[in-house]
Structure 1
């Protein structure tokens, strides 16, 4: 039964949903202008809710898939959490403070093969990227589902299996940035963070509920996380399964990581949990280090590792036995083939170089 607080917040939720509905209607009618780029396909990966649906690894999957097809993708993000403004293209001198943790993670992952840039204004950002990197054959937008000034060629909508948008509500009662009706703009919906063994029966039921909000024949796919071996931030040997570890996170949904670590045999003695995109301080890390018992290690996410490598934290991190757990996206059933079939018609064949 809804709590008293929920009832009190409902008017605010209705107001917020109404404002977003009017905004969407203005874009839909053309009253508010939006841009559709004809130079290259623009693929957006986004969601309806605030944080935690797995955008970063799904963006990485799309970029890697494009590379495998011989394309030259570029990546554009808002750069949430950065301390700079305007357009900025990532270089080796950048940090999480200058471009944001997620763009920095992607830049370090793909290196010079993929141009990574940040800009609050996605239209201006795309134009600048194409001007600076004319060899670009596709632009991947990270988290621009509500940025209606750009009309993406393909709109990929993510929703968590444990927290699907069709069971959620608009802020502040729930976590949705707009109403469930926003799913109608999706060209494909990916249900994320599923168990690898999710049954066909459950997938069919989830698909049926999602299809109440999407256009006819929009594919509904399912993905899961695959975790890699611990990677050291410093020259130290990674902990073996069965070891005692401290988990350090500054992400929206750390539960899947905790579940993986437990299933892998690690013994979690403490979880230092901070808000999403948290800017770690040296004092926080020194305090965490002081609590470590002999033989214990610190495990974190790849996204958090990007922020731990800030120059201001170099001295404390150098003394920490800290490791990150990389993740990659894998699709259930025939999901990968279906997504590839959706994307392929938008690209001309290129030789892989």
Structure 2
């Protein structure tokens, strides 16, 4: 794969030019971008792969849901339905996608969860609901410029920050680095918990934020227990188990479990993997399966795995979290 990316390097200037021109057309109003009369907060990134968008959306849900009627809107990647879908008691990972289903599974009585690849239509449909949302959280829509979000949060990882990367197909960026200037907040995610002051200064210099931008650093915390539909097990109680992941980067999870001196066999699938009958058959032979929450949303439908399937919850902590919260709440108050 790495060799192929190097071979495709001559395509980089072409991809760069196309995405740069597209952004220019939106910047100068030559391509239409629709605004809405309610707060729209976009969470996204410049790169492909996992930067922590789902935990960030959940962070915002928890921050806002007690004071505002919150709706999330996602594309619903790899779902088997089309058009606008509003999650209800019949929703599954297949009907709305694994990440939206995770939002619904956690917050179903507190927020609206919707999917639509056409975000303009999706917000329009949400505004037709009997109980109108007071804020819409757009999941993975930084490049979806047909909607003009009122507030953009851009994520980039500590291990692979956007300023060290280049555009596809050789690099991982969906658009040129200059796209970061559209963000109101830039969050460096998956940082070490004890990131030094000098490291932060180094990142801030490379990001070179404008006067209108704020930069924050966040880290992931793993729980001390794994959870199933109706039970929980302490990590220190776990013996040999099968670790199953279908996410963009499982390295932090693997490192965490190894640091706990846990013994496991890892089955590593690509991001958003659709588990086949053979995959499920192989998993049925395992005594205990630990997976991510996103993968749990896809696997929980298989009754044969019910008593052996657990996931490890994660939470996000943000340095200067009060300042981050204040920025979001001030945006909400502006409406």
Give the Å deviation of 1:237: 5.1
8 Å Cα contact 1:241/1:266 also seen in 2:
no
Residues 1:7 and 1:98: Cα distance change in structure 2 (over 3 Å) = closer
Partner of 1:247: 243
Distance 1:225 1:149 in 2: 32
Q: CA deviation at 1:241?
A: 4.6
User: For the residues of structure 2 that align with 1:234 and 1:97, how far apart are their CA atoms?
Assistant: 22
What is the match of residue 69 of structure 2?
Answer: 72
Aligned mates of 2:109, 2:312 — CA distance in 1: 23
Question: For residues 236 and 150 of structure 1, what CA distance do their matches in structure 2 show?
Answer: 41
In 1: Cα distance, 2:85 partner to 2:3 partner:
45
Preserved contact between residue 244 and residue 289 of structure 2 (Cα < 8 Å):
yes
Matches within 5 A, 1:162-241: 162-211=159-208, 214-228=209-223, 229-233=225-229, 240-241=236-237
CA deviation map 1:25-66 (0-9, x unaligned): 11111110101112x110000000112101000000011101
Deviation at 1:262, TM superposition (A): 1.8
User: Deviation string for 1:295-344 (max 9, x for gaps)?
Assistant: x521100000000023xx22x213x5221001111112x1x112112112
Q: Does 1:274 align with 2:269?
A: yes
Query: 1:348 & 1:137 partners in 2: Cα distance?
Result: 11
Question: Hey, what does 1:304 align to over in structure 2?
Answer: 295
The match for 2:305 among 303, 307, 317 is 317
RMSD, matched Cα: 2.0
Q: CA deviation at 1:274?
A: 0.5
1:283 aligns with 2:278: yes
Match of 1:341 in 2: 326
Counterpart of 2:7 in structure 1 is: 8
Unaligned runs of 5+ in 1: none
Do the aligned partners of 1:103 and 1:117 also contact (CA within 8 Å) in 2?
Answer: yes
| CA distance in 2: counterparts of 1:325 and 1:72, whole angstroms | 28
CA distance in 2 between counterparts of 1:324 and 1:95 reads 17
Cα pair 1:239 1:297 within 8 Å, conserved: no
Asked if the contact 2:227/2:233 (under 8 Å) is kept, the reply is no
Match of 1:153 in 2: 150
Q: Deviations over 1:196-226 (max 9, x none)?
A: 1111110110111011xx4334111000111
Q: Work out whether 1:93 is the aligned partner of 2:90.
A: yes
Indicate the SS of the match to 1:205. Answer: helix
**Cα drift, residue 87 of structure 1:** 0.4
Compute the displacement of 1:6 (Å). 5.1
State the partner residue of 2:124.
127
Give the paired residue count. 333
Q: Is the CA contact (8 Å cut-off) linking 1:101 and 1:303 kept in structure 2?
A: yes
Stretch of structure 1 that moved more, 124-133 or 172-181: 124-133
SS of residue paired to 2:65: helix
**Is the aligned partner of 1:41 residue 2:39?**
yes
Displacement of 1:264 in angstroms is 2.8
Aligned with 2:128: secondary structure? Answer: helix
Q: CA deviation at 1:346?
A: 2.5
1:112 Cα deviation (Å)? 1.8
Q: 8 Å contact 1:80–1:100 — kept in the other structure?
A: yes
Q: TM-score, normalised by structure 1?
A: 0.89
C-alpha change, 1:94 and 1:297, in structure 2 (3 Å) is same
CA contact (8 A) 1:234 1:321 kept: no
SS of 2:108's equivalent? helix
Cα distance in 2 between the residues matched to 1:4 and 1:72: 48
